[in-house]
Amino acid sequence: MQANRNFRNFLNLSDMNAFLKNLGLIIFLIGVIFLCIYYFGTPANGLLVTSLVLEFVGIITYIIINKRID
Pick 52 or 42 by higher pLDDT: 52
Distance CA 42, CA 50 (A): 14
For 1-39, how does the pLDDT look when each residue is reduced to its tens digit (9 = 90+)? 555 555 555 566 677 778 888 899 999 999 999 999 999
Please answer whether residues 28 and 58 qualify as being in contact, where contact means their C-beta atoms are separated by less than 8 angstroms.
Answer: yes
CB-count exposure of residue 22 (10 Å: 0-12, 13-18, 19+):
middle
Phi, psi (rounded to 5 degrees) for 11: -100, 40
C-alpha distances in angstroms, 25 versus 22, 34, 40, 46?
5, 14, 22, 21
